[in-house]
């Protein structure tokens, strides 16, 4: 039988330093053609997905791939070509195509001005064995089946129980004509538990996702029992919940994934891609208050093990801790190469992309509202009648700054107390109007893993916040 590096003995083929002369030749050719900047992103990937349903593994889906993204800048314009063909001919043709987009063509005569790549910034040296240290397929399937068995143990009226595991390994090499030369290995693992409960006409579906970066042992350390209990407690409560009554009301949003409100309502509007498009109301507001003074918001790629953490971004820059809003005042935007060229906002190590097939763009990493001084119960006690959003579903933001997101698990607040569970709530609003209404932040900041889809594809992120109180927000329901 043929060997299978993908499953039984993962080796994670890496980009060697021997790529340097090939890349330098391409970068020099691009500069000789008249490009201001040429960037090459090389990628190899190894993915494993496993799905368990009830007591059965129903899907194992390994995949592996490779490719290159070649980007050429001329002034504020750029051309981008992606290809699966990593041969010299394939890369050269990709460069030619990208140059042609800008009206440029290769020349053999003029000087390139390219002084060669700098020393390799190698962030992968301690990560070479990460893939091999990940759980085997047998371990992964056993752990998932433990999860679905725990769901059966803790839940009632469960019609469907699912556990999913995803392991994404990525080796990247970034080279650019400004001398950037950097290599990294990334490892992201995520686990999900989902259930559907049904009892007569009552139905409720709910899920939780857990994710880390750079921690090969993550799945082995997962507490399947605690996760299953958490999911089953929530779905058991929501199964008999009534639909929320619609209207304007105060809301308290729980910590962890409650942070999706900031991610959707404000975070996207602080990416330079939005400044470029003219779709953020905050473009000219640096130094001005845009939120309640209780709000300090941060985006960083540094928290160890967090799903959105990076050793370097997809343009070879080390991530930073970027204070976006400090005591309500806008401090800065998240920026990438293109954002810096087009808007003047300095890069923040936020150039991210799903894969080589996307040009990098300014994207969030670990984004959260900082902890405040209050106890969580103080926020709830301050509301006469409102909504407590314990668990949030997904959301989105539109081109005019309108955001929306679904409440997965909600409760009424009546006279400062949590009372009945309610379902079917959607929170809608506009960032400019809602940010000044975040009036209280609790002292219990926690983060949660998620995926964010935008202009450069789907990337791993962390959202987070302490419990926060919004003085008034539109709650859609029935």
Which DSSP string corresponds to 205-231? Answer: EEEEEEEEES-TTHHHH--HHHHHHHH
Beta carbon nearer to other proteins, 48 or 442 = 48
Long-range Cβ contact pairs of 15-23 (< 8 A, separation 24 or more): 15/42, 15/44, 15/171, 15/172, 15/173, 15/183, 17/120, 19/173, 19/175, 20/117, 20/120, 20/175, 20/181, 22/88, 22/91, 23/117, 23/173, 23/175, 23/181
Contact of 254 with 388, CB cutoff 8 Å: yes
Q: In whole angstroms, how close is the CB of 85 to other proteins at the nearest point?
A: 5
Each residue 65-104 as x (binds other proteins by CB under 8 A) or -, in order, gives xxx--------xxxxxxxxxx-x-xx--xx--xx-xxxx-
152 sits near other proteins (criterion: CB under 8 A): no
At 321 the three-state DSSP class reads strand
Stretch touching other proteins by CB under 8 A, among 105-113, 251-259, 394-402, 460-468: 394-402
The token pair that represents 395 in the structure block: 């959301």
156 sits near other proteins (criterion: CB under 8 A): no
Instruction: List the one residue from 203, 285, 332, 437 that touches other proteins (CB under 8 A).
Output: 203
Beta carbon nearer to other proteins, 98 or 330 = 98
Q: In whole angstroms, how close is the CB of 323 to other proteins at the nearest point?
A: 27
142 sits near other proteins (criterion: CB under 8 A): no
Q: Which of 127, 169, 165 is nearest to 43 (CA)?
A: 169
Query: What whole-number distance in Å separates Cα of residue 92 and Cα of residue 240?
Result: 62
Each residue 250-289 as x (binds other proteins by CB under 8 A) or -, in order, gives --------------------------xxxx----------
Number of alpha carbons in the 13 Å side-chain half-sphere of residue 427? 32
Q: In whole angstroms, how close is the CB of 477 to other proteins at the nearest point?
A: 6
Query: What whole-number distance in Å separates Cα of residue 301 and Cα of residue 366?
Result: 6
Beta carbon nearer to other proteins, 23 or 392 = 392
205 sits near other proteins (criterion: CB under 8 A): yes
Q: Which of 300, 295, 268 is nearest to 281 (CA)?
A: 268
237 sits near other proteins (criterion: CB under 8 A): no
424 sits near other proteins (criterion: CB under 8 A): yes
Helix then strand count (H, E) for the chain reads 11, 23
Q: In whole angstroms, how close is the CB of 392 to other proteins at the nearest point?
A: 9
Beta carbon nearer to other proteins, 110 or 458 = 458
Beta carbon nearer to other proteins, 182 or 244 = 244
- CB environment 141-154: b (16+ within 10 A), e (fewer): bebbbbbbbbbeeb
423 sits near other proteins (criterion: CB under 8 A): yes
**How many residues form the binding site for other proteins (CB under 8 A)?**
86
- CB burial class (10 A; 0-12, 13-18, 19+) of residue 278? exposed
Residues 6 or more apart in contact with residue 181 via CB below 8 angstroms: 20, 23, 117, 118, 119, 120, 121, 174, 175, 316
Instruction: List the one residue from 25, 53, 240, 446 that touches other proteins (CB under 8 A).
Output: 53
Residues 6 or more apart in contact with residue 311 via CB below 8 angstroms: 123, 184, 186, 318, 319
419 sits near other proteins (criterion: CB under 8 A): no
Interface with other proteins in residues 291-320 (CB under 8 A): none
Beta carbon nearer to other proteins, 25 or 455 = 455
Parallel/antiparallel/unpaired status of strands 417-423 and 402-414: antiparallel
Beta carbon nearer to other proteins, 83 or 465 = 83
Stretch touching other proteins by CB under 8 A, among 21-29, 197-205, 304-312, 345-353: 197-205
Instruction: List the one residue from 29, 137, 422, 431 that touches other proteins (CB under 8 A).
Output: 137
Interface with other proteins in residues 363-392 (CB under 8 A): none
Beta carbon nearer to other proteins, 118 or 424 = 424
Contact of 319 with 313, CB cutoff 8 Å: yes
344 sits near other proteins (criterion: CB under 8 A): no
413 sits near other proteins (criterion: CB under 8 A): no
Query: What whole-number distance in Å separates Cα of residue 236 and Cα of residue 228?
Result: 12
Instruction: List the one residue from 21, 105, 346, 399 that touches other proteins (CB under 8 A).
Output: 399
354 sits near other proteins (criterion: CB under 8 A): no
């Amino acid at each position: 039988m043929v060997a299978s590096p993908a499953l039984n003995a993962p080796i994670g083929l890496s980009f060697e330093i021997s790529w340097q002369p090939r890349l330098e030749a391409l970068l020099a050719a691009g500069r000789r053609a008249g490009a201001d900047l040429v960037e090459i992103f090389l990628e190899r990937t190894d993915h494993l997905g496993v799905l368990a349903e009830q007591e059965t593994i129903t899907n194992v889906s390994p995949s592996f791939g490779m490719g290159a993204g070649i980007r050429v800048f001329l002034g504020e314009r750029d051309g981008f070509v992606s290809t699966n063909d990593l041969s010299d001919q394939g890369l050269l043709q990709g460069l030619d195509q990208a140059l042609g987009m800008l009206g440029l063509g290769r020349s053999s005569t003029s000087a390139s001005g390219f002084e060669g790549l700098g020393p390799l910034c190698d962030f992968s040296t301690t990560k070479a064995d990460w893939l091999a240290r990940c759980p085997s397929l047998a371990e992964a399937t056993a752990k998932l089946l433990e999860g679905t068995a725990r769901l059966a143990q803790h839940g009632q009226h469960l019609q469907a129980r699912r556990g999913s595991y995803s392991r994404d390994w990525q080796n990247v090499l970034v080279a650019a004509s400004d001398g950037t030369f950097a290599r990294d290995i990334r490892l992201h693992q995520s686990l999900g538990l989902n259930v559907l409960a049904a009892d007569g006409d009552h139905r409720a579906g709910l899920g939780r996702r857990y994710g880390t970066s750079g921690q090969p042992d993550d799945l082995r350390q997962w507490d399947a029992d605690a996760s299953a209990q958490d999911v089953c407690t929530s779905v058991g409560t929501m199964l008999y919940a009534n639909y929320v009554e619609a209207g304007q009301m105060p809301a308290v949003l729980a910590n962890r994934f409650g942070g999706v409100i900031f991610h959707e309502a404000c975070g996207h509007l602080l990416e330079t891609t939005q400044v470029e498009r003219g779709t953020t109301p905050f473009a000219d507001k640096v130094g001005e208050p845009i939120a309640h003074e209780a709000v300090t918001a941060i985006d960083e790629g540094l928290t160890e093990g967090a799903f959105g953490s990076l050793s370097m971004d997809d343009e070879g820059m080390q991530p930073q801790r970027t204070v976006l809003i400090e005591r309500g005042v806008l401090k800065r935007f998240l920026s990438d190469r293109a954002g810096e060229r087009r808007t003047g906002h300095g890069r923040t190590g936020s150039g991210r992309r799903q894969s080589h097939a996307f040009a990098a763009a300014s994207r969030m990493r670990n984004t959260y509202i900082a902890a405040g001084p209050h106890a969580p119960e103080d926020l709830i006690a301050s509301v006469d009648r409102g909504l407590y959003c314990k668990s949030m579903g997904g959301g989105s933001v539109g081109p005019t700054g309108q955001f929306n997101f679904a409440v997965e698990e909600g409760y009424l607040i009546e006279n400062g107390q949590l009372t009945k569970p309610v379902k079917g709530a959607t929170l809608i609003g506009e960032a400019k109007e809602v940010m000044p209404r975040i009036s209280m932040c609790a002292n219990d900041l926690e983060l949660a893993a998620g995926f964010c889809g935008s202009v450069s594809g789907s990337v791993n992120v962390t959202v987070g916040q302490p419990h926060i109180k919004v003085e008034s927000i539109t709650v859609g329901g029935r």
